[in-house]
Amino acid sequence: MSRFILFTVIAVVLADGLAPRAFAQDVKPINLSLVEPIQIYNRDTAIHGFRFNLIYGNNAGIKGVDIGLANWNTSYFVGLQWGVVNWTEGDFTGWQTGPVNNVGGFMTGLQTSALVSMNKSGKGFQGSAVTYSEDFIGLQLGIVNYAVELHGIQIGLINVIKNGGMLPFFPIFNFSFD
């Protein structure tokens, strides 16, 4: 558990300058949510610290730790996002873990999941039953791995690299370093 806390603190401190400030007009250190809109601060507020979502929470940006059943943010995320459904519409830096993970922008770091991890583009590690990325640099580890463009390695039963790759489809492993 102490390594988990240490990783989270290091990720937040190192990525402190990466989150765009333009979206963070109203920044608060903590938010608690039952279901959005029943939360302390509304969805237009950025949270730099800690957010707990009993069922569903939605804020502009998050920097820190985000825990709950359904974690949603409409802008950037820096830190640890841990829940059943984790959804970031913008860029993500850190670790996203839960059965369903999605990053709509650029993901830097880790996505670990029991079911599915998706990102528009990313750099790092994806580990899930199903991994998906339009443009990924790093390692995809899953039962089914799919990348439109890949600069890295896929390990799993079904590995698909739409553009490039050793082969467009290959079982067990596939790679592309184009």
84 with 98: CB under 8 angstroms? yes
| Predicted confidence band of residue 25 (pLDDT cuts 50, 70, 90) | low
Phi, psi of 40 (to 5 degrees): -60, -50
Instruction: Report the alpha-carbon distance of residue 49 to residue 20 in Å, rounded.
Output: 16
Average pLDDT, the chain: 90
Give the model confidence (pLDDT) of 89-137 as tens digits.
999 999 999 999 999 999 999 999 999 999 999 999 999 999 999 999 9
Question: Long-range pairs for 69-73 at CB < 8 Å and ≥24 separation?
Answer: 72/36
Return the amino acid letter for 14.
Answer: L
Give the model confidence (pLDDT) of 83-93 as tens digits.
999 999 999 99
83 with 98: CB under 8 angstroms? yes
Whether the pLDDT of residue 19 is over 60: the answer is: no
Whether the pLDDT of residue 15 is over 80: the answer is: no
Domain ranges of the chain: 2-128
Three-state DSSP class for residue 178: coil
- In angstroms, what is the C-alpha Rg of the chain? 16
57 with 71: CB under 8 angstroms? yes
pTM of the model: 0.84
